Amino acid sequence: MSTTYSPCSPGRPPLRLRRPGRILLAVAGLATVLLASACDTAQQVPWATYNSQLQQQIDAATATRGCAALQAFLAAAKATSSAHEKATGFPNDSLVAYIQASQHEAGCPSASG
């Protein structure tokens, strides 16, 4: 009488089914961290001192992975920081951080400078 070897015991799921669950859990955790950090960054930006559509435009560019648009927003924020600070009392530092976080979220390549 010969017996066949079964890699899984009857009441136990195969190991390969657990791995996607762990990966999904890790991805969900990472997404939660990114969203939480983006919210923190968004709350730090004095949005009332900017065009009322700016945050929506940045968020739309992030959602569509519009790296060129995000780079343009970043360049404009850096170029106008001194003038914005003179006019409102706030430099664009928090806006720059928000745009950079948006670029990271959208998967845009890092640009130096």
Count of domains observed in the chain? 1
Enumerate residues 6+ apart whose C-beta is below 8 A from 47.
Answer: 54, 55
pLDDT single digits (tens) 30-62: 555 555 454 556 788 999 999 999 999 999 999
What pTM was estimated for this model as a whole? 0.63
* Structural domain contains residue 53: yes
Instruction: Supply the pLDDT for residue 21.
Output: 61
- Contact of 96 with 111, CB cutoff 8 Å: no
Tokens 């670029």 correspond to: 103
Determine the structural domain holding residue 50 and report its residue range: 16-106
